[in-house]
Amino acid sequence: MIINIGCDLVNIVRFKKSLQNKKFTDRIFHQTEIDYCKPKKDEASSLAARFAAKEAFAKALGSGIFAQGIGFSEIWIENAPNGKPTVRVSKKLETQLDSQGVTGWDVSLSHHVDYAMATVVMYSKGSNK
């Protein structure tokens, strides 16, 4: 099994400026993410962590998916009832991941004051030895 990791760090203050543009929000986020983050006291922090998760997922994959016609909203976070986040992907991306031998992944998010971060671990068939 091959294990790859990806991480990303977002400055929440700068990210808040991007969130003022509705086109940006609509293009980047899945409705599930908007619905989860909207009622939160600090909505921007959770959205910033989700943006970091999309970037971290792409880094773990390492094949430049956003340059290959996959949209940011095709990768999204869902939270279990206990709060644990999971990365979900569109059918189109799932097919691409299958063809690349990706078998699974996990994500962890954190946000505090000015920064939000995400780490993704991705599992694929094969061996990197």
Q: Which of 60, 65, 93, 109 binds ligand COA (CB under 6 A)?
A: 109
Q: How far is CA 113 from CA 26, 122, 124, in A?
A: 25, 28, 35
Hey, what amino acid is at 1? Answer: M
Decide if residue 52 touches ligand COA (CB under 6 A).
no
Give the x-and-dash track for 68-97 against ligand COA (CB under 6 A): -----------x--xxxx------------
How many Å apart are CA 84 and CA 109, to the nearest integer?
A: 9
How many Å apart are CA 90 and CA 34, to the nearest integer?
A: 17
Q: How far is the CB of 117 from ligand COA (least distance, A)?
A: 9
Q: Which of 16, 40, 111, 125 is catalytic?
A: 111
Q: Which of 12, 46, 105, 119 binds ligand COA (CB under 6 A)?
A: 46
Per the CB < 8 A criterion, the answer to whether 105 and 120 are in contact is yes
- CA of residue 55 relative to chain centroid, distance: 6
17 is known as an active-site residue: no
For ligand COA, the closer CB: 84 or 92: 84
Instruction: Please tell me the total number of residues recorded for the chain in this structure.
Output: 129
Write out the catalytic residue numbers: 59, 111
Binding stretches for ligand COA (CB under 6 A) = 46, 49, 79, 82-85, 109-112
